[in-house]
Amino acid sequence: MSVRFAPAHNAARLIGWHARGRGLVWPAQMRAANDGADSARPTATFDPLLTDALRHFAVHGLGAVEAALTGAEQARADGDANAKDRWLAITQMFDRRRAAAANAATTPA
């Protein structure tokens, strides 16, 4: 797969500057949903569990599921039900079947 780098000075960028000067950029910025927070637009909220799962994946990579299951087992051994549920929820973000199997194995019948 080839990678193409755009030049620093291109015509599309100059057209953007001219459009900004004519007041054409502000309406487009008001419609943008992923830009920074302004007083005119509400800020987007992120799921904290998704954020934790992404950070966990950044640390553990492809071994994130096993590390999360290990964390769930450790929390269960410590008797911390909230931490166990959190680790199982993080595991579910990566692999639902293994999270369901681990939850069935740790839940008393």
The string of pLDDT tens digits covering residues 8-49 is: 555 555 555 555 555 655 565 555 565 555 555 555 577 889
Q: What's this model's pTM, rounded to 2 decimal places?
A: 0.58
For residues 70 and 40, the answer to whether their CB atoms sit within 8 Å is: no
| Beta-carbon count within 10 A of 81 CB | 11
Domain map (residue ranges) of the chain:
9-41, 48-106
Residue 103 and residue 97: Cα distance in Å, rounded? 10
Tell which wins on pLDDT, 29 or 61: 61
| Residue 85 burial (10 A CB sphere; 0-12, 13-18, 19+) | middle
Check residue 90 and give its pLDDT: 95
